[in-house]
Homo-oligomer: A and B are copies of this chain.
Amino acid sequence: MSHKPLAPETLRVVAQRFKILSEPARLEVLNMLRKGPLNVSELIEATGLNQANLSKHLQILHAGGFVMRRRDGLFVIYEVADHSVFTLCDLMCGQLKRHATAQVKQLRMVR
């Protein structure tokens, strides 16, 4: 009756990737990069995050392979590595809407 157990290691690495997307700041960074590459200074302006904090988030996104980077003189330019991340976000939004709708219906039944 039980389902084939996924390797604990698999569960860990997948969960870890979800964790990277579980910060509003990082989602905003990805969203800002949706239209195209930006350097760190532009991202500071676009997101309002302070330099050190943004840099940390960028390292995390980069380590997870969500963004690529290249140096251009003094600047470092970041860009989305895998646009399927936006598919993920859209799916998540869809679930969110369905869940919210279900909750509203539930409330209506109570009244």
Task: Please report A residues at the B interface, Cβ cutoff 8 Å.
Answer: 1-3, 5-6, 8, 11-19, 21-24, 26-28, 31-36, 38, 42, 45-46, 64-65, 81-82, 84-85, 87-89, 91-96, 98-99, 102-103
Contact = CB atoms under 8 A, between A and B. Distances in A.
Given A12-B24, A91-B88, A102-B65, A6 B18 contact: no
Contacts of A23: 15
Number of copies: 2
B21 A96 contact: no
5 closest A-B pairs by beta carbon, nearest first, are A65-B99, A19-B22, A11-B24, A18-B22, A18-B21
Nearest to A94: B84
